[in-house]
Amino acid sequence: MAKIIGGVTTSHVPAIGGAIAKGLQQDPYWKPFFDGFIPVRHWLAETKPDTVVVIYNDHGLNFFLDKMPTFAVGAAPEYRNADEGWGIPQLPAFAGNQDLSWHLIESLVADEFDITSCQEMAVDHAFTLPMALLWPDQKWPVKVVPVCINTVQAPLPSALRCWKLGQALGRAVASFPGDERVLVLGTGGLSHQLDGERAGFINKEFDLQFMRSLVEDPTWATRFSTFELVEKTGTQGVELLMWLATRAALGERVKQLHTNYHIPISNTASGLMLLESC
C-alpha cells in the first residue's frame, strides 16, 4: 500500500523564482531563506519519495475569477507552467502520477468532496517554485499530483473544511494499492498582504504560533473563521489553508525535523517546516 512519509510546508513568492534565475542564493538578503532548505534536501535524498502531492493555490494561470473551483485535482500525464508576467523562467515539465490522481479523485468524491478533475492543467509559481527549492537541479526525480485550493475568490473553504480535505487525502493515499512513497508539499503564506491599507502587513507572533500548533495542537487554526484568519495574517496570509490540509494528511502524530522562518521575502513572512509522519 502507498505510504505518506512526511510533509513539507513552504512559501511560494514569485520573487523566489527571480532570485533563483539570477543566482542570488548567497546574497545576504536571500541566503537565510535558501539555506533553510539544505536539511530538507538531505532528508529527501535519504527518504526518496516517488510522488509528491502538491497542495497549492492557483493565481490565475489555470483558473480565473470566472471559473474558480473550491477544490481541484490534476489528472494529467504532465504539467507545465507558463509566463505569468513575473519574468520567471519556465521550468521543465512535471510527470503526473495519473493512477494515484484518479484514485484520489474517486476517494475524495466518495468522501463527499465536490472535486473538479483536470485532465489538462497548467501549474503556476505556487507549484513550481517550491518544487525547485526542493530539487534545485530541476530534474524532478518524482511524479506529481496537483491539489488546488481556492484562496482567491470568495467564498473560500473554511480552515476546518481544508483540514477535513487533508484528512481525506491521507486516507485516500493509504488505500492506494501501489507501493508509492508519497511526500505532501503544502505551499503558500505565511502572513502577508500585497495591497490595500495594510499592504506589507506581517504578523510574526501569529505565524510562529501557527507553526508550533501544527506539531502541538494541529487543529488550533481551524477554530478561526476565514475573516479572522485574514485579519490575523493579511489577505494573502489565508494561504496557510494549504499548510493545514498538508498537516491533516500526515495523520495524528508527526515529528518536526526542521523549521525555518525568515522576514522579509518580498513583503512576505516566509516559513518552512519539515514534518515526518509517525
Catalytic residue positions?
A: 125, 192
| Separation of alpha carbons 29 and 19, rounded Å | 10
Give the burial class of 159: count Cβ atoms within 10 A of its Cβ; 0-12 exposed, 13-18 middle, 19 or more buried. buried
Nearest to 10 by CA among 207, 222, 145: 207
DSSP sequence for 225-276: -HHHHHHHH-TTGGGHHHHHHHHHHT-S-EEEEEEEEES-SSS--EEEEEEE
Q: Which residues pair with 260 in a beta bridge?
A: 272
| Separation of alpha carbons 147 and 80, rounded Å | 15
Whose cell is 468522501? That residue is: 111
* Pairing, β 270-277 against β 3-10: antiparallel
| Separation of alpha carbons 101 and 93, rounded Å | 17
Q: Which residues pair with 254 in a beta bridge?
A: 277
